Amino acid sequence: MNNKEDERADTGAKEPYFWNPRTHEFLGRTASSWGLILLFYLVFYIFLGGMFILTMYVMLLTLDDYKPTYQDRLATPGMMIRPRSEAMEILYNPQDTESWDRYTEALDIFLAPYNNSVQVQNNDDCLPDNYFIQEDSGEVRNNPKRSCQFNRTSLDACSGIIDRTYGYQTGQPCVLIKLNRVIGMLPGKDGQSPYVTCGAKRYKVGQDEWKEDADAIGELAFYPPNGTFNLMYFPYYGKKAQVNYSQPLVAVKFLNISVNTDVNVECKINSNTLTTGGERDKFAGRVSFKLRITSSNN
């Protein structure tokens, strides 16, 4: 036992903790002790902040404005449809305009930038079936890069120009398909453009029971011909380098789809460089959706 504690024991008085006037301690520490602690933390945090700023600075130096530094090595991109809904369903009655005009309106908005006039103004008339390569030569940037025209009229019966209702009014609806953008992707070799095919989707109905609506899907038509995504729209160099890029589209028109029944459709990409995902990645290179056309006059 030291003397201090002896003293305390003697007087029986409790030393005030918050401010001790006798020892000049604030919360149990003297002013110089507090000063040292504050100084330590000050130096410590300045050091940490400095480290953070330095790391960020070095990282930003290594970033390229035009290319993502890290991109998932996704072999095959996903596909998406237009008109799109949360449930991936297109349900309507041709006789009831209000049941389908939201679909045609969505397509009108989506296709507006593809108007020939807009495409001719913004983009180049490229050589089909060849990649439109515009590499940078070393450190010299070849930016901005040009893009190829994708004319709205190449969607023909699904362009909304000949038939302003995209076939919805006659029960022969068009669905547009796009391939998600992947920078630098080369989707075909030997001049063979990838193309889209659609068919009835096999789906599970019971424990080990599968079903497909093959009889109900009817004949299909594809636009542009053969449902191709022409090679001239690839590779894609990114939003910043290729400002006017128009994603190529494929339209599928259901010419004789059965009415008053659900038709589960799956479309997929066919390419000699991309593989469609199997069970492991169900969304790679494929998209599925449900169509149901109701008709009262049967």
Ligand X SMILES: *[C@@H]1O[C@H](CO)[C@@H](O)[C@H](O)[C@H]1NC(C)=O
> Which residues of the chain form contacts with ligand X (CB under 6 A)?
112, 115-122, 125, 144, 146, 149, 151, 161, 218-219, 225-226, 243-244, 256, 258
- C-alpha to C-alpha distance for 217 and 254, rounded to whole angstroms: 7
Residue with smaller CB distance to ligand X, 193 or 284: 193
CB 189, min distance to ligand X, A: 16
CB 151, min distance to ligand X, A: 4
Residue with smaller CB distance to ligand X, 177 or 284: 177
Residue with smaller CB distance to ligand X, 144 or 199: 144
Largest CA distance in the chain: 107
In 3D, which of 125, 128, 245, 122 has the Cα closest to residue 183? Answer: 245
CB 179, min distance to ligand X, A: 17
Show the CA angle centred on residue 236, arms to residues 232 and 238, nearest 5°: 155
Show the CA angle centred on residue 235, arms to residues 234 and 240, nearest 5°: 115
CB 214, min distance to ligand X, A: 11
CB 183, min distance to ligand X, A: 16
Residue with smaller CB distance to ligand X, 63 or 112: 112
Residue with smaller CB distance to ligand X, 228 or 288: 228
In 3D, which of 158, 234, 134 has the Cα closest to residue 193? Answer: 234
Question: Which residues partner with 287 through β-bridges?
Answer: 267
Give just the sign of the alpha carbon dihedral 157, 163, 167, 173: positive
